[in-house]
Each structure stands twice: as structure tokens, then as C-alpha cells.
């Protein structure tokens, strides 16, 4: 059987949804359009996107987005595409006059209705010839920055601050009046509104354009007029936060300079034979629990190796998601397998039937099977119907463990509020993003 998580598969969308799913044939039509953004500027944003997108410490899977603008147009990453592999046909061109019109619209109070209308208007604000490309839901946020380039990522290091109890206070100490701090807010149209208010207030107060924004339980936005400015500012943000935490923690969460792709999964090759045996056991357990046979990948890192001998600590650190990415790809929480009775090794062999029992119990509680299974003292496994999603789920779970650790420097970690979790779980836009990523990283 398929749990209610089936809406996240590549099956047809629920009826009544405003936007049809992208289909490959339509993509092939291409996105030729005459816009006013110089080719060189587009190349620059693609280069920056691939650079930051290929380092998992900056962004994982379909997370984050980038844009470049002219007076009249904004080219932004299409929803569901990955920054690391972004190419010309993954950019969707928006008409900026039509976009700013969205701010004057009056939408229904009901959240789902409001987002549905706003999404339809966002689709209408595209320039001609965009095929079925859907702009990122964060398009409005990009548009209100005055600078030519906007790079929005979800860096692990930055999120140790944005997902911390005292994150705002520490961020203000670190960045002074360069900073715009956006509290936890539902993504989509409301985020756009709040960002616009914050930027307007900043301009009034400081008589200059802001370039740095931190989004609580979400990530980083940096704006700049040229490539060098973006790089220099990204570096400055990273160094400033890294300098405020213990060196050991900073080393684990610091991204590469943005040049050297460090995005390869670390592979968890410590005990390959055990890992392969576990993948087989988990696959059999999934089928025994009545699920479709999944793709399973193993992952690990230095921090996991340190923490994973303490399942109670991991339970606590992974009790809830830190950001929309964690929720969308890795679900609310992983399945952490407790050590078997009788003092056997926690990573020792288990029968598929025993694991299937735990999958069923998890499904009863969360209405879907887990995306991540943790075998203490061994590895963490991403489980999904498509490999990119399995990889993303595993990477995001490791990311969450790093955030929980690093946030100690800023008053301790703080999960996303329950209200926002529920909003995102029910939001068609995020189901779309996930569906796109399941079709592979294009």
C-alpha cells in the first residue's frame, strides 16, 4: 500500500490544482524569450548558482534559489531545479512590473486559497514564452532587492544561527545594522510581503540598500551588484558566524570557499559490508511493510560518527525539523533503530520482519513511512522512490545534526514551530518542488 505520502510521488497531482505538473515534452519546447537581461549577467548567475549549489554546506538538493535582474525583467531559478546543475533552461523570466502588481492584490484570508491565487498570479507575471516553468516561490523576495544579483542559500553554518534560541540577538551582535532579520514566517506570498516591509523600513532608516538578510529557521539571502561583491559578501557572512562559535564546530559546518565542490556524499564507507547488508534488510522490510521497493542510500559524516553512539541524543536533536527543506525531504523525524535486546551491537543484523514492524508503527504515527532510518554506530540511510530524494533526505538529516550541534553557540537549537510545519505539509507548492526533484536533478 501507499501511505498518504503518495502525493509526493511522481503520480498525477490531486484534482483541482491550479497548475499542471511539468511534463518533459513541454520542457522540450524551450524557453526562448526576448528579455532585457544581458547574456553576460545570465552567465554570471548560472556560474554562481552552480558553484554554491555544488557544495552541500551551502545548499542541498532543490533548496535555495538565485536571480538576476534588469530594470524590466527578473530571471530566477525555476521551482524544483537544483542550483548545482542549473542551466539556461532552468531560469524562468518574470515581468517585474507584473510582479510588483502582486503586492497590491487583495487575497482571501484563508491560507490555502490565498496561496493558490498568489501562485496563479505569479504564473501570470512570467514573461512570454516560459512554457510550463514555474518560478520559485521566493520570487517576490528576490524582486524587492534593488541589486542585480540575489543568492539565497540554506547554509548549514548560517542555520546554526537562524535555528537557534538566541539567534536573532547573536545575529545582531555579529552583523550590526547591516542585518535584516526575518522571524519565522510561512513561506510564499506572506514571506514576500514581510521581506518588502523589512526592506522598505531598512531604506528609510539607513538611507541605503540592504544586502544581507537572515530568515529564521530557513537560511541566508545575499544581494550584490556584481559577481565579486556576491562572493566577498558570502565569504564575509560565513567567516563572521564561524568566528563566533568553537573552532571544532566551525570546522565541521564551514562550507568551501564556494569554488571547490565538496558536495559529494561522504559515502559512509567505514563498514561497507555491514552497510550493504543493512540496505538489503531495509529494502526487504519496506516491501514486507507493504510499501513499493525503494531506493536506499547510506550516508555519514564525522559529526554523525561522533553522535551516533548516543541514540537518545539523536532522538532529541531530530525530534522535529529545523527548516522547510528538512521537512520536505526528510519528513518530520527519522526512524532511529534502538539497540536490539540482549546487549547485541546496535548495528548488528536484524530481521526484515522486525524492521517492518517499526516501519508500520512509524507510518501509523506519521501517516507515511520514514525517509531516513538511522542505525546507531553505523550509518544513516535515505529511503525514497527516487535516488535524488533518498540522497537529499540523508544529507538533510546529517545537516540537522550539525545544526543542532552548532546552535549550542547561540543559545541552543530551536525547531520550526508546529504551526509552520503544518502549513508546509499541506502546501501544494512544496509537494510540487518535491515531485520535480523526484524526477531527477535537471
Give the residue with the Cβ less far from Zn ion, 219 or 258.
Answer: 219
CA distance between the termini of the chain: 29
Question: Which of 350, 431 has the CB closer to Zn ion?
Answer: 431
For Zn ion, the binding residues (CB under 5 A) are 219
In the complex, minimum distance from the CB of residue 48 to Zn ion, in angstroms, rounded to a whole number: 16
> What is the C-alpha to C-alpha distance for residues 21 and 96, in angstroms, rounded to an integer?
24
Distance, CA of 157 to CA of 252 (rounded, Å) = 9
Residue 161 or 314 with smaller CB distance to Zn ion: 161
CB of 219 to Zn ion, least distance (A): 5
**Cβ-based nearer residue to Zn ion, 131 or 258:** 258
Closest to Zn ion by CB, 304 vs 423, is 423
Q: What is the largest CA-CA distance in the chain?
A: 69
Residue nearest to Zn ion (CB): 219
C-beta separation of 68 from 41 below 8 A: yes
Whichever of 219 and 346 has its CB closer to Zn ion, that residue is 219
Question: Shortest Cβ distance from residue 220 to Zn ion (Å)?
Answer: 9
Minimum distance, C-beta of residue 266 to Zn ion, in the bound complex (Å): 24
Instruction: Give the shortest CB-323-to-Zn ion separation in angstroms.
Output: 8
Q: How far is the CB of 183 from Zn ion (least distance, A)?
A: 15
Lay out the sheet containing 212-215: strands in order across. Answer: 91-95, 73-77, 65-69, 149-153, 219-224, 212-215, 179-182
What is the closest distance, in whole angstroms, from the C-beta atom of residue 137 to Zn ion in the complex? 8
Q: State which residue, 78 or 335, has the beta carbon closest to Zn ion.
A: 78
Amino acid at each position: 500500500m501507499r501511505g498518504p505520502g503518495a502525493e509526493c510521488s511522481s503520480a498525477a497531482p490531486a484534482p483541482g490544482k491550479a497548475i499542471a505538473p511539468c511534463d518533459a515534452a513541454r520542457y522540450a519546447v524551450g524557453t526562448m524569450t526576448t528579455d532585457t537581461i544581458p547574456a553576460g549577467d545570465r552567465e554570471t548567475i548560472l556560474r554562481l548558482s552552480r558553484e554554491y549549489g555544488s557544495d552541500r554546506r551551502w545548499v542541498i538538493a532543490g533548496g535555495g534559489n538565485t536571480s538576476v535582474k534588469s530594470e524590466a525583467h527578473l530571471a530566477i531559478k525555476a521551482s524544483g531545479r537544483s542550483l548545482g546543475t542549473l542551466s539556461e533552461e532552468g531560469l524562468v523570466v518574470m515581468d517585474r512590473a507584473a510582479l510588483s502588481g502582486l503586492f497590491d492584490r487583495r487575497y482571501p484570508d484563508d491560507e490555502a486559497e490565498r496561496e493558490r491565487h498568489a501562485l496563479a498570479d505569479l504564473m501570470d507575471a512570467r514573461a512570454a514564452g516560459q512554457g510550463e516553468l514555474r518560478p520559485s516561490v521566493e520570487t517576490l523576495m528576490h524582486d524587492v532587492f534593488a541589486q542585480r544579483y540575489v543568492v539565497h542559500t540554506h547554509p548549514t553554518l548560517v542555520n546554526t544561527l537562524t535555528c537557534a534560541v538566541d539567534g536573532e540577538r547573536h545575529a545582531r551582535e555579529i552583523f550590526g545594522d547591516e542585518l535584516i532579520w526575518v522571524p519565522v514566517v510561512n513561506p510564499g506570498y506572506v514571506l514576500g510581503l514581510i521581506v518588502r516591509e523589512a526592506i522598505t523600513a531598512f531604506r528609510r532608516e539607513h538611507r541605503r540598500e540592504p544586502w544581507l538578510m537572515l530568515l529564521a529557521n530557513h537560511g541566508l539571502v545575499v544581494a550584490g551588484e556584481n559577481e565579486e561583491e556576491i562572493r566577498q559578501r558570502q565569504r564575509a557572512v560565513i567567516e563572521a558566524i564561524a568566528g563566533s562559535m568553537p573552532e571544532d564546530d566551525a570546522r565541521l559546518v564551514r562550507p568551501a570557499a564556494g569554488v571547490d565542490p565538496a558536495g559529494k556524499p561522504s559515502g559512509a564507507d567505514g563498514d561497507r559490508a555491514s552497510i550493504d547488508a543493512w540496505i538489503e534488510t531495509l529494502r526487504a522490510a519496506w516491501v514486507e511493510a507493504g510499501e513499493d521497493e525503494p531506493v536506499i542510500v547510506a550516508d555519514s559524516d564525522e559529526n554523525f560518527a561522533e553522535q551516533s553512539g548516543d541514540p537518545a541524543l539523536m532522538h532529541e536533536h531530530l525530534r522535529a525539523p529545523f527548516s522547510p527543506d528538512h521537512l520536505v525531504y526528510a519528513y518530520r523525524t527519522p526512524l532511529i533503530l534502538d539497540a536490539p535486546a540482549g546487549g547485541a551491537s546496535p548495528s548488528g543484523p536484524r530481521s526484515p520482519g522486525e524492521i517492518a514492524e517499526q516501519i508500520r508503527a512509524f507510518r501509523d504515527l506519521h501517516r507515511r513511512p520514514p525517509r531516513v532510518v538511522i542505525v546507531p554506530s553505523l550509518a544513516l540511510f535515505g529511503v525514497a522512490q527516487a535516488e535524488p530524494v533518498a540522497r537529499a533526505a540523508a544529507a538533510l538529516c546529517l545537516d540537522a545534526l550539525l545544526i543542532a550541534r552548532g546552535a549550542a553557540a547561540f543559545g541552543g537549537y530551536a525547531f520550526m514551530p508546529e504551526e509552520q510545519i503544518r502549513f508546509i505539509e499541506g502546501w501544494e507548492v512544496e509537494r510540487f518542488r518535491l515531485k520535480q526533484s523526484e524526477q531527477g536533478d535537471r
